[in-house]
Amino acid sequence: MRGGQQKSTADAHDVPAPSAGAQDVQLGPLANFIGFHLRLAQDASFRAFARHTGVKGIQPGRFAALMVLHKNPGITLGELGRAIARDKSTVTPLIQDFKRRGLIERRPSKSDRRRVHLSLTDAGESLLRDLLHHAKVHDRVLDTLVGGKKAEFIRLLRKIYDGLG
């Protein structure tokens, strides 16, 4: 209670803000919003992954794009976007960055000049191998945090994605 006022029922289970130096900051209804906590968890996971890899400009989303390119040589930009749940306006700059870094090659389709097929270069494959090592280490940390509930946790995350996607 502040100033003699009672907390509303929306705040009744309010918890302090998640960052270490912000214990006095109240989140209000955010404390019980799944989406807010998904975002916090995603941000924390991305920061930890980036710290662990030490590779500038390669976040987990870019790692995912590299993995999809590796597993699907010749994939188109649209197919890649759908596979990693990103629209063309997000995937295009990503591909331009990969091209600038020498990680991918673009080949025009022989049957449809509007389509471009994407594949990893040797440098892209090498970076992916390094990132995969870091991703496996990172995933073991997440496994420890989730405990024996990984399959259920992934099922719930997929349920959210499928239900809202």
Q: What would the pLDDT profile of 39-66 be if each residue is shown by its tens digit?
A: 999 999 988 888 888 777 677 788 999 9
Q: How far is CA 36 from CA 31, 43, 115, in A?
A: 8, 11, 38
State the residue for tokens 């890649």. 80
Give the model's pLDDT for residue 159.
96
| Extents of the domains making up the chain | 1-32, 33-164
Angle at 163 between CA 159 and CA 165, to 5 degrees: 110
The identity of residue 95, as a single letter, is I
Give the model's pLDDT for residue 18.
60
CATH architecture for segment(s) 33-164: Orthogonal Bundle (1.10)
φ and ψ of 56, to 5 deg: -65, 130
What percent of the chain clears pLDDT 70, i.e. is strictly above it? 85
How many Å apart are CA 68 and CA 24, to the nearest integer? 43
How many Å apart are CA 161 and CA 157, to the nearest integer? 6
The identity of residue 46, as a single letter, is F
Give the model's pLDDT for residue 113.
81
Can you give the pTM of this predicted structure? 0.76
Mean pLDDT of 133-148: 94
| Nearby residues of 58 by Cβ (< 8 Å), 6 or more positions away | 50, 127, 131
| DSSP bridge partners of 104 | 120
